[in-house]
Amino acid sequence: MPHAAPFSFLCARYAATIVCFMLWISWARPAWPQGRSQWLHLGITGILMHAGYLGGVWAAIKLGMSAGLSALIVSLQPIITAIWLSSQGSRVTKRQWLGLALGLVGLAFVLSDKLGTVEVTLVPMLWVLLALASITIGTLYQKAWVKPCDVRTANTVQMIGALAVSLPLALIEPHHITWNLETITALTWAVLGLSMGASSLMYMMIQRGAVSRVTALLYLVPPTTAVIAWLMFGERITALMLLGMLIAAYAVYLVLKPASPPILQAK
């Protein structure tokens, strides 16, 4: 973040990811999505789940919002998703509702030390709300409209859509990218670990599972981040944060736990 403007870095990430996927596709030759409608749907999900979500979070933090507060706001996604699914007739059990609510409480505990005291202003708040809306709508849209296809070609189309929307914003940023070892390391991880790794896994999980169950796993991101930050950077973990991790883990268990099979009664 100190060495790059948000959308300039994200454009570099999307472009590098497209190149890596194209090299992989040219070697493996997987099938491309069938029909213009699927290309359009994938492009829309790429705009929402990458350009809108990542761009919103990065812009909010760059404008002064604390990383903890932005993470807490975006973590409302599983609850909003469950509310929408419930309104559309999908069944969300009482146990899952409890898990979703507990997950938010756990996140608040985990992030309590990182919420910061910076005054929240309108523009950063609008950016992070855009990120929340984008990841929520994008997840639901993908589940509803994107047909199963190869994750490599699908992700490539998504990245093209994200790049097309982000590039005009990057061009008007006053500062672009200062290239140094930290920037290159961050970009390498963003491309290989996040865009090609985590985003591909999330794409496959959405296609194969219930959306509410997939999004509940996002509750585990801040606790995992806190542990990694403790190991790598020596950041402290308080008793309240540990309690929050346990609550978040239990919340995900409640959401993902399969329903008990009916007991067979002998005739």
Q: What is the pLDDT of residues 199-253, one digit of tens each?
A: 898 888 888 876 777 888 888 888 888 888 888 888 888 899 899 989 999 998 8
Q: Is residue 93 part of a domain?
A: yes
Whole-prediction pTM value?
0.85
Q: Which domain holds residue 119?
A: 6-255
Q: Is residue 29 part of a domain?
A: yes
φ, ψ dihedrals at 177, nearest 5°:
-135, 130
3-state helix, strand, coil in the chain (%, to 5): 75, 0, 25
Q: Is residue 190 part of a domain?
A: yes
Q: What is the pLDDT of residues 102-130, one digit of tens each?
A: 988 988 888 887 766 556 788 999 999 99
Q: Is residue 266 part of a domain?
A: no
pLDDT, residue 266, reads 43
Q: Is residue 246 part of a domain?
A: yes
Residues in the chain: 267
| Residue scoring higher pLDDT (231 or 159) | 159
Cα dist. 53→108, 133, 223 in Å?
A: 20, 8, 20
Q: Is residue 233 part of a domain?
A: yes
Q: Is residue 1 part of a domain?
A: no
Percentage of the chain lying above the pLDDT 70 cut: 94
Total number of domains constituting the chain: 1
CA distance 131 to 240: 27
Q: Is residue 260 part of a domain?
A: no
pLDDT, residue 267, reads 41
